[in-house]
Every structure is written in structure tokens, then in C-alpha cells.
Structure 1
Amino acid sequence: MSKDLTTGGIAATIFELAWPTALAMSLQTAFRIADGVFVGMIGHKAFAAVTVIFPIFFLMLGFASMIGVGCTSLIARCIGGLRREQAVSAAGHGFALAALFGVSFVALGLTFQRALYRLMGIEETLMPMVVEYGTWLFLWAPFVFVGEAAGSILRAEGDMKTPLKIMAAAVVLNAVLDPLLIFGIGPFPRLELTGAALATFLARVFGCVLIMEHVLRGRTGVQPRFRGFRPRARTLGSILWVGLPASINHVIMGLTGMVFIWILTRFGAEAVAAYGALARLNGIVILPCLGLGTAVLAIVGQCVGAELFGRAEKVTWRAVLYAVVVMEGMGLLFFLTPGLWPRIFVREPDVVRYAAVGLRVTSLSYMFMGASIVVAAAFQGAGHGLPALVVTLLRLVIIAVPAAYVLSVAVGLTGFWIALAAASVAAGVVSAVWFKAGTWKRPSRL
């Protein structure tokens, strides 16, 4: 059943929604750490191959987030405004979009992946490993899209615990299969990098089946209807109005990630592996902020639907405060002990040295990163996806990419890390100022 997020204590409501999401993502990240350790044991080239695929995975998440964010925002606003039939229609449209994008991603990915890797400047000695892992990535895409569509219903209703349970089950399966398939333990064949990809594929399918079973058996307040379904341009437009900017955010991150790897290839596979280690560590750091952002999106969505703008604003700034405190603490820890953490994934001295420098530099920008994540979610919940997109363009396209190229040429690899940190600081400041201006209170397209 749907929860009323327009009443109750602010701190209690935020944490009630945030902790299950943060814990679910923590479980997934804990597995990724273990997965990274296992892949790193194969060798730093295998780790570099997975790093190459990471931006493409971000592209896939970008299109999936278009469905997830757009549907969550629309369904939450419909629930807050007591428009139940519109919420049901939005859920059905979400599944239609998921099927379309899932199949398209598989077809295009398998057809053009080699050309894409060459465009990224991947050396031929690394190409077989990249293709090996990338093929499985494209095959699990439909399950990611459908799972995101189902999850949007639960998030909009304020049910964060069911996705946590499903994520936990999928992570456990992935964690069990990973060493068995990578190293060939017992009766299982030794598949190495293919084993890591196959384990993730099977876990994704398992998680998708579980969440679809939950939705289709009538355990949610909003029930999608497939019989006699007809797409409506207005509903699709409402989803895309919020979801497309969020999608473009991820697409930009994925594309700029490819550019970053192109820049780093000048410094060798060790620099690419260091970037991969840093990306995984940053993924750990932002987990609380992602949980806070998910909570803020749902709460702000229902509050805006009920025209409770004051509560929406208070919730956002309180969540920003929590994010800044957590991120500042993690940033201080990483700044003081930068050489310790990359060793979780890699042991080669050059890779550890490169990653340690990057961690010390980028940790200075963590609190700004946290603020921008939470504020972006607030804009999306209010039905205004454009500000988050503009801030991402500012951070990555206008600042990070040009600065990373110029500074890496002028200063070396340290210049690359400085560019990333400066871009995060700018994004945090601009996000906060823009939200304070109050443009999100204007009516959005519904």
C-alpha cells in the first residue's frame, strides 16, 4: 500500500525511506568490491577491461533511470494529488518503455561494441577481454530496464524495504556464483572474466523475476494494467519530461567516462586501472547520498503533488545537511589514508600510487558531490528534471573534460584528478544556489 509522505517528522521520514535504499546499494557495492577483488586476482588487465565497460554500464543505467526517475516522480505526484488512475497509467507506460529500450540496447550493443571500443582507443591486446565482458553486459540489459520500471512503483509508494530484500537476495546469489565461476571451484568450469559477467547476469535475471512477481501478484497499491494497453502521448511526455534529463545525466556520465579513459590511455593500462579503483571507491562513498536522494525524490514528489512546498524545501535542506556531514567525514578519512584503500582492488605499485594521488585530490570535493546528488533528486521529485541536467553538463562537459585534457597534458596525471575535483565543487555550489532560487515550485508538465 502507498505511504503518505506529506506528514510526519522530517528526519524520521527521511531516514525511514533512505536507510533501506542505502543498505540495498551497500549490499550491491559490497559485492562489487568482492567482484573487483576477484577480477583483480586475474590481473590488472582484466581489471582494466572491466573499467572500460563501466562507462557503457553507466549509459545503460542512464536510459533505465529515464524510466525509473520519470515514473517514480509522476506516480508519486499522482499519489500525493489523489489521482490513482493516472498513477496506474504511468506504471503501464513505464513497462512499455522498459521493453522498448531493453531490446534496443541488446541489438545495438552486440552489433557495434567492437567499433565503440576502438573509438575509445582500447589497445588490441585488451580487446578480447573487453568484448568478453561487454557481451554479457548487453545481454542483461532488458532485465535491468524491466526491474527499474517495477521498482519505480515501489519507490513512489514509499516502499523501500521490498527492493532491499530483493537486492539482498540477488547479491547473495551473485556473491556465491562469482568465485565458483571465476576460479572453477568444485564442478564449475574456470571461466575467469566470463565467469564474473555470467554470475552478474544470472543475479540480474533473478532479481528482475522477484520484483516482477511482487508487482504482478497485486502486492502494490498501484497496479499496472497490460490488457488493452494503449500508449498516451501525454503520459509518455510526462515521464520523459522528468526522466529524459535524468537519463541524459547518466548518458553524459557514460560518454565522458569514455573520454576520460581515452585521456588516461596515454598513461597506460595502469592509469586506467587506477581510475577504475577510484570509481569503485567513490561508488562506496556516495551510497548514503543515493539513499537520501531516493528518499527526497519520493517525499518531494508527494509534497509537490499536495502543494506542500514548505515541507518539500525543509526535507531537501535537511537531507543536504546529512549528505554534507557524511561526505566530509569520508573525505577526511580518504585524504589522510589515500594509499590504503586502492589496495582493496589492485596491488601493482604503479596502480596504487596513481590511485592514491587521485583519492587524496578528489576527496576534497566530496561534500559538494553529496549536496549536488540530493538537490538533483529534489528537482526530479518536483517534476523539474532540467536543472539536474544543466548541472551535469556544467560539471562534466564544460569543466571536467576540457580541464582533464589540458591539465593532464600540462601537469600529468595529477592534473586529471584536479579537474575532476574542481568540477564537483562547481556542481555542488550551482545546485544549491539554483534550488534556493525556488524555480522548482512552478507547475511542471504532468
Structure 2
Amino acid sequence: MHVQSIDPQDTTVTAAALNPNPAAPAARPPDPLLSAPLLPTLLRFALPNMLAMVATALAAIAETAYVGSFGVASLAGMALVFPLVMLQNMLSAGAMGGGVSSAVSRAFGAGDPARASALAVHAMWIGVAAGSVYMVLMLVFGPALFAALGGQGEALSQAVAYANVAFLGSVFIWLVNTFSSVIRGSGNMKVPSATLLIVAVAQVLIGGALGLGWGPLPRLGMAGVAAGQVVANFLGAAFLLSYLASGRAKVQLRVRSTPLQWPLARDILRVGAVACLSPLQTVLTILILTRLVAHFGTNALAGYGIGTRLEFLLVPIAFAIGVASVPLVGMAIGAGKVARARRAAWTAALLATGLLGVLGLVLAVAPQLWTQHFTTDPEVLAAAALYFHWAGPCYGLFGLGLSLYFSSLGAGKAFGPVMAGTVRLVLVAVGGAALAWAQTPPWTIYALVAFAMAAYGLSTVLAVRMTSWGVER
């Protein structure tokens, strides 16, 4: 057998001799996340995400409190537009963002950081395109949609005033969440979480200053509150762009030197595009219920808006835990460690179920802990309390389904959890139509909400158990 000798002084042949197959990348050490203990790592990843989500929740509370000071009509208007604001966040951070994190983490798991960096550039352009489309759709069709949901009079005017400013910043929101997803896919939770925390604080301060007219600033009302969100996300997107382009991140954003390639975009879209059906289903479910509740009047609609605002915040809380599992699941799948990927998914699901379950039970017993921050109107408070009495006990199962949804994105297997969301949507649509036809009281609608949440969580468990995540290598 012939053995090639290597002259240590001849640097021109050393690399080729050490890697006899130039087409194959040189062997790289496995990522530490492929062997790290699962529960401690999940907790370590989830904590910064949780802090960022708490800040986001506080920003939502502050924003709704600002709106509440404008009157019941403004609260009702916010109830009309808020589902579409949150839809944008769920699409960009949870769905398409999950597809981005999944693709990046699988590339690292397979030992290919160059592919991960190329995926980051493709993710950025997907975010720009999606944000632009969302902005145009909402500015053109938003008023008609709010009216179709039952908005009328002053409530509709307030919804339009907020939406016309908020959706001007759609591209910034998509970029903040896209860049955050890229960084999370590499296993770094601290930078995106710290950025989102600062964005939330900036949103509270700027929105309050412009909406309420602090100091010498004019009182811009709903438009000013919405402007806080736009400015804060612009600043967050600019910072994350500079961070990824600076060379400090594990992923390198090289926009000019990375040609666009369909296979890389497809790697993101095959997970992210399917996953986008889930938040669409969630928001469509809420819109159907909003239309049903609007039949009972403005006070009932305002109370339901307070309740559903928390439900939308459950998504980020479950996101904080579920997204912590994405790099663990994705890297394990990329390395062929399917059993480890599943253990990470179920561990995260148990954490989310416990946290949201406790939160739901507390609010079912004491809804005023949440509702008193938004209004003192007794009829509005009663409507919100009725919602929490029924929906609260099922929050745990809702969190179970959401966490497994995010973990499935990490595995590149979004279809099953999306179908579970379809089960929830069908139950609400068919059941809601039947209740509306029978002219039943409001509590029956909230009971339907609870039943649909439980069905979603259990259906997601079944879907994940039945879906193959690949073959152990």
C-alpha cells in the first residue's frame, strides 16, 4: 500500500493531504449541545426567553392600559385589531422563525456552519418579503376585515387608527424575529432575548409618550401607542443586523457574498410555510369567536378582548420553552440522534404544561389579577371573568400542544401539529355556528373555547407520537 509522505514545510499540499476528498468538508468536532444534559440545558435556554416574554407581556399590559384610558370604544377597537397584530408575531417568530431556527440548527448538527450562515441570508430576504406583503394586505384590507368582525362606529375608527400606524412597521417586526430565530438556531438565547427585552421596554416608553402625550409631546391616542411598536422594532432590527454582520455571532451574515439558492430557501420554507398554517388557524379561531361574542354587545366584546389578549400571550410563554428545545431537537436530528431529539421535545412539553396549567388555574379562581389592569367597568370585568372561569383550566393542555408544535419545527416535522390546530378550528367553527343558531348565552361560547383547547393539546400529542422523526444513526 502506498502512503503519501507529507513535507511539513510544504504548506501547499498539507491541507489536501489531510483531507483527501476536497469536495467533502473537513471533520469538525460535534456541537456541545449534542451531549449536554437536556433538562438543565432547556432551563438555561428557557430562562432568558422567559424574561424576554415577560417583558413582552408587560409591554402588552401597558399598551392595553394606555388604550383603556381612552375609553371602552378604544378597548373594543383593540380587541378587533389585536388578533392581526399577534398573527404577525406568531408568523414571524413562531412559524417562519421556527423554520429558520430548525434549518440553522440542523446545519450545525450536521457539522456545516457555512450552510448555516448561508441560510441566515436567505432567512433575511424571506423576512423582508413576508413583512412587505403583510404590511400591504393589512393597510388595504384591514378596515374591511375589522368591520366584518363586527366593528362599527367609534370602535371601528379606533381600530383603524391603531392599525394604520402599527402595520407600517411590519418589515421591522419580521426582521427582528427572523434575526432572533437565526441566532437561536445556533444555540444562543441570550442575545435575542436581551434584544427583545429592550425592544419591549422601548415600546412601553415610546408608545406611552406618544399615545398619552407625556411632557411637551402631543397626545396622539391610538396612533401614538402603535408608533411605539414601530420605532422599537426598527431599533431592534438594526441592532441584530449589525450583530450578525459584525462577526461576533456563531452565524455570519454575509449578504453581498452569498448568492441566493432555491435549495437553501426551500429548506426554510418547507418547514416555515407549513408551520404558518398554525398561527393562521389560531387567529381564525379567535376571529370566529370574536364575531360570536360581538353579538352580545360592546361590553362583552371588550371583556373578551381582555381575555384573549392573555391567550395570545400564552403563545409567547409556551414559545419561550418550546423554542428552547428547537436547537436541541434540530441539532440532534442533524446528527442522527432521533431518540435524544424526542426526549428534548417531551421534556419541554412537560415544562410548558406545568407552567401554563398553574397560570390558568390561578386566573380561573382570581381573574381580577389580570382584568383589573385594563378597566373598572363592572360589565366588562364580568365578561372577562366568565371567559377565564371556563378557559383557564385548559391552558395547560393548550401549552402542551404549543410546546410540541415548536419542537416539531426543530425536527422539520410540522404537519402533525398543524393538523391538530385544524381540529381546534373545526370544533370552534362548527360548534360556534351551532351555538349562534341556538342563540345560547355567552358562557356556552367560553365552554367551547375550553373544549377546543383540550382537543388541540391531546391531538398534538397523538400526532407527535405517530410521526416518524427519522432513523437513529
Specify if TM > 0.5.
yes
Letter in 2 for 1:144: I
Q: What does 1:63-78 correspond to in 2, within 5 Å?
A: 63-65=91-93, 66-78=95-107
Match of 1:29 in 2: 57
Match of 1:102 in 2: 131
Contact preservation (8 Å) 1:55, 1:258? yes
Distance of 1:204 and 1:392 partners within structure 2: 29
Match of 1:430 in 2: 459
With normalisation by structure 2, the TM-score equals 0.88
Match of 2:434 in 1: 406
Match of 2:42 in 1: 14
Distance of 1:112 and 1:429 partners within structure 2: 35
Letter in 1 for 2:278: N
Gaps of 5+ in 2: 1-29
Letter in 2 for 1:365: C
Alpha-carbon distance, 1:304 to partner? 0.7
Letter in 1 for 2:205: V
Contact preservation (8 Å) 2:106, 2:330? yes
Contact preservation (8 Å) 1:405, 1:416? no
Match of 2:6 in 1: none
Contact preservation (8 Å) 2:408, 2:417? yes
CA deviations on 1:223-248 (whole Å, 9 max, x unpaired) are 13222543322222221111012211
Match of 2:203 in 1: 174
Distance of 1:436 and 1:250 partners within structure 2: 22
Of residues 306, 313, 317, the one that matches 1:277 is 306
Seq. identity, %: 25
Matched, 1:116 2:145: yes
Letter in 1 for 2:128: A
Of residues 295, 310, 317, the one that matches 2:324 is 295
Gaps of 5+ in 1: none
CA deviations on 1:264-290 (whole Å, 9 max, x unpaired) are 221112122112111222345555422
Contact preservation (8 Å) 1:285, 1:330? no
Distance of 2:223 and 2:402 partners within structure 1: 33
Distance of 1:25 and 1:347 partners within structure 2: 26
Contact preservation (8 Å) 1:407, 1:419? no
Contact preservation (8 Å) 2:322, 2:349? no
Distance of 1:221 and 1:340 partners within structure 2: 42
CA deviations on 1:181-237 (whole Å, 9 max, x unpaired) are 222221111112122111121111111111112111122122132225433222222
Distance of 1:101 and 1:288 partners within structure 2: 24
Q: What does 1:129-278 correspond to in 2, within 5 Å?
A: 129-278=158-307
- Greater Rg by CA: 2
Contact preservation (8 Å) 1:278, 1:355? yes
Distance of 2:471 and 2:231 partners within structure 1: 44
Note the aligned Cα RMSD (angstroms): 2.0
Alpha-carbon distance, 1:20 to partner? 0.7
Alpha-carbon distance, 1:421 to partner? 0.7
CA deviations on 1:424-446 (whole Å, 9 max, x unpaired) are 11111111122223523369xxx
Letter in 1 for 2:380: V
Alpha-carbon distance, 1:150 to partner? 1.1
Question: Which is bigger in relative contact order (C-alpha 8 A, separation at least 6)?
Answer: 1
Distance of 2:307 and 2:73 partners within structure 1: 16
Aligned length: 441
Contact preservation (8 Å) 1:75, 1:153? yes
